[in-house]
Amino acid sequence: MPQPTDGPRARYREQVRTEVHDHAWAQIAEAGASGLSLKAIAQQMGMTAPALYRYFASRDDLLTELVLAAYRDLAETVEAAAARTGDPTRQVRAVSGALRVWAVQAPQRYLLIYGTPVPGYTAPPEATELAQRIFAPLQSALAARLTGARRERRSFDLTVRLWTRLHGVLSLEAAGHFDTMDVEPATLFAHELASVLES
Amino acid sequence: MPQPTDGPRARYREQVRTEVHDHAWAQIAEAGASGLSLKAIAQQMGMTAPALYRYFASRDDLLTELVLAAYRDLAETVEAAAARTGDPTRQVRAVSGALRVWAVQAPQRYLLIYGTPVPGYTAPPEATELAQRIFAPLQSALAARLTGARRERRSFDLTVRLWTRLHGVLSLEAAGHFDTMDVEPATLFAHELASVLES
DNA sequence: TGTACATCAGTGAACGCGCGTTCACTGATGTAC
DNA sequence: TGTACATCAGTGAACGCGCGTTCACTGATGTAC
């Protein structure tokens, strides 16, 4: 895997890599992570499968890139939402709202990160750091609303609680489990958010 | 697919079917639902794959049986827990506790029902009825703790809230997402249960 | 109790499929003189 | 500005794999007389 860092060839490489990512996400969106196939992507791009090995060392390598890209994208989304205001309560609301939009917009991408683990695939260590980066803005906003002793620990517990509650709604919504029930996911999500802010 | 309903042959058939189910669960436990393979099961049982078509019409048919069996088992577990006491609050605790034991004991079985949907597979309509049967004991216990107007609707909302909160913890726990965090799933679960009982 | 027959569990060969991955190669593209 | 060379994107054939599923068959087991 050669890698010139600039020039027209480098530009072209980046273009192809991006196109592969796009097709990969489309595949994941409709068949989940286990449906990801280099051969199918190559076919969709009008190429042969071996050509893709110029760009990715293996299928799992591509999957790792996608997982990390998802983590990074969510981290940036969450950070941007938190940066839009200085008020801690508004920050929590903004981050939660951004999280929901991000999850509902591409359910399979959300599930790739927080759903059932892909069998036989383990995420790289970098994923853990990124997960913490996603966690951080929520925690610092919640911490800013607290005073008194053991503030750090209490804000951590509170963030975990908020996070699991929101995930409870989002994962069931993404998996379609509310479809056969008389439940409005958006309303439920708002209530769960409120329940933590009020505690 | 012939089916005598009694006699030695019927008994033998049931025995083989059960053995297939056992191997199938073992496979799901270690590779998830998409790792379910008739050929692999046959091999483990010292048979050839076509033999299994005497017992199951197709791979998806077996998967459907497993899904329904999981639903049924959970429904019975939950109902039995609720039946152990008459006090509504104790019932909610008992059902929630039974749910957690059931989920933690076989995480992949829990995720087969409530996790990321298996790509290309849709559960039979009967699953929806069973899901409601699982839901019912919680709702009637929570309803018994309420008084006043719109009790039915309020208890439904409350049950949904409890259910999503517990699922938030269980799904993250089953997927191993707490492994890299300083979180005690059992404690968190207890807190989430308490949060609804106190509301 | 013994024999003839029907039932049915299981085999073995074969099908087509899609997958990841390798390898030697062709031919276009960019670069250095 | 033009030519020679090196780089490298992409091809085509091939590999071995495991999968679900079919089909004609063998041989054991249960049943009816």
Q: What is the pTM (predicted TM-score) of this model? A: 0.95
Mean pLDDT by 10 residues, chain B (199 residues): 69 96 96 95 98 98 98 98 98 98 97 91 93 98 97 97 98 96 97 97
Across residues A9-15, what is the average pLDDT?
Answer: 92
In terms of Cβ atoms closer than 10 Å to its own Cβ (0-12, 13-18, 19+), residue B30 is exposed
Q: How far is the C-alpha of A152 from the C-alpha of A154, rounded, in Å?
A: 6
Q: How distant, in Å, are the alpha carbons of A22, A177, B48, B107, B133 from that of B122? A: 26, 12, 28, 20, 19
Kindly state the helix (H) or strand (E) to which residue B175 belongs, with its residue range.
none
The predicted structure's pLDDT at residue B8: 77
For residue A2, pLDDT beyond 80: no
CB B31 within 8 A of CB A120: yes
What is the pLDDT of chain A when averaged over all its residues?
Answer: 95
Q: How far is the C-alpha of B151 from the C-alpha of B142, rounded, in Å?
A: 10
Rounded to the nearest angstrom, the minimum Cα separation between A180 and chain B is: 7
Rounded to the nearest angstrom, the minimum Cα separation between B51 and chain A is: 27
> pLDDT band at residue A1, thresholds of 50, 70 and 90?
low
A74 Cβ under 8 Å from any chain B Cβ: no
> pLDDT band at residue A40, thresholds of 50, 70 and 90?
very high
Q: How far is the C-alpha of A162 from the C-alpha of A58, rounded, in Å?
A: 37
Contact B119 A32 (CB under 8 A): yes
